[in-house]
């Protein structure tokens, strides 16, 4: 399966052929749908055939491998035969908000020191958990730090390294709970030069300015060591 969002996260649609459709969902030969992973929700959208049939997609999940995307149709959707040509279209407005928030969480890694133990992105908000017994930064200081990096409009882009290069640089891995997929020979890094560099397979905006103004909504203590920082869009 050709995962088009990896090289171009701004693609809203693509032409594709149905490979299979069963009780687990629909597989295509290529797709713009990002499957849930790395704290980022799966895309929703629609598959359209030339004869006007529409199949609403309510989620996208990883299948048996990292290259396998399963498109989950809504209940009662018409079935699609293998070989059917479709136009796959994601809900772009939602995806773009997810891309902005996802990229913002990379900035949060740059503003807050400490190991990341988990994270979650949802529509309009996001959060990271840090292993930090003492957090000396206030809500306002983190908000200011994030917005400075947004305003600086840093470039954001993927970069690939080999499994061996990653194994030799364990400091690249900020997230203990989400191990980068190794074994395929190469690992995708998300690079915001001079700001953040870490393995990430998600979708991101091209420049930090596109994130827009953000704010720390609250900082929660989840256990003795764990600080959960919650981010929202401020405009």
Point out which residues bind Zn ion (CB under 5 A). 190, 200, 202
Rg (CA), the chain: 19
Give the residue with the Cβ less far from Zn ion, 179 or 224.
179
Please name which of 52, 50, 16 lies closest in space to residue 33, comparing C-alpha atoms.
16
Cα 34-131-100 angle, rounded to 5 deg: 30
User: 180 or 202, CB closer to Zn ion?
Assistant: 202
Distance of CA 110 to the CA centre of its chain: 17
CA distances from 104 to 50, 140, 197, 231 (A): 38, 16, 13, 9
The DSSP element (H or E) to which 100 belongs, if any, is helix 92-111
Indicate the residue among 37 and 63 with the shorter CB distance to Zn ion: 37
Instruction: Tell me whether residue 111 or residue 200 sits nearer to Zn ion (CB atom).
Output: 200
State in angstroms the smallest separation of the CB of 107 from Zn ion.
Answer: 11
Q: CA 113, CA 184: separation in Å to the nearest integer?
A: 30
CB 196 → Zn ion: shortest distance, Å? Answer: 9
Question: What DSSP string runs through 121-156?
Answer: EETTEEEEEEE-S-----HHHHHHHHHHHHHTT-B-
| Residue, CB closest to Zn ion | 200
**What is the smallest separation between the CB atom of 106 and Zn ion, expressed in angstroms?**
6
CB nearer to Zn ion: give 101 or 200: 200
Q: Rounded to the nearest whole angstrom, what is the least distance from the CB of residue 204 to Zn ion in the complex?
A: 6
Shortest distance (Å) from residue 119 CB to Zn ion: 10
């Amino acid at each position: 399966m050709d995962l088009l969002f990896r090289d171009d996260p701004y693609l809203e649609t693509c032409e594709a052929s149905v490979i299979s459709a069963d009780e687990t969902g629909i597989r295509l030969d290529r797709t713009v749908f990002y499957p849930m992973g790395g704290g980022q929700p799966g895309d929703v959208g629609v598959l359209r055939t030339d004869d006007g049939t529409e199949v609403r997609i309510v989620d996208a999940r990883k299948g048996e491998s990292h290259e396998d995307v399963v498109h989950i149709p809504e209940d009662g959707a018409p079935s699609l035969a293998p070989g059917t040509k479709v136009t796959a279209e994601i809900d772009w407005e939602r995806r773009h908000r997810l891309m902005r928030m996802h990229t913002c969480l990379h900035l949060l890694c740059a503003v807050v020191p400490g190991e990341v133990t988990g994270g979650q992105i949802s529509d309009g908000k996001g959060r990271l958990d840090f292993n930090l017994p003492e957090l000396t930064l206030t809500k306002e200081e983190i908000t200011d730090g994030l917005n400075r990096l947004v305003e600086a409009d840093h470039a954001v882009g993927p970069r690939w390294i080999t499994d061996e290069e990653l194994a030799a640089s364990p400091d690249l891995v900020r997230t203990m709970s989400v191990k980068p997929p190794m074994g395929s020979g190469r690992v995708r890094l998300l690079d915001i030069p001079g700001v953040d560099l870490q393995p990430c397979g998600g979708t991101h905006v091209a420049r930090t300015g596109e994130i827009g103004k953000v704010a720390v909504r609250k900082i929660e203590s989840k256990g003795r060591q764990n600080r959960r920082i919650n981010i929202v869009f401020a405009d």
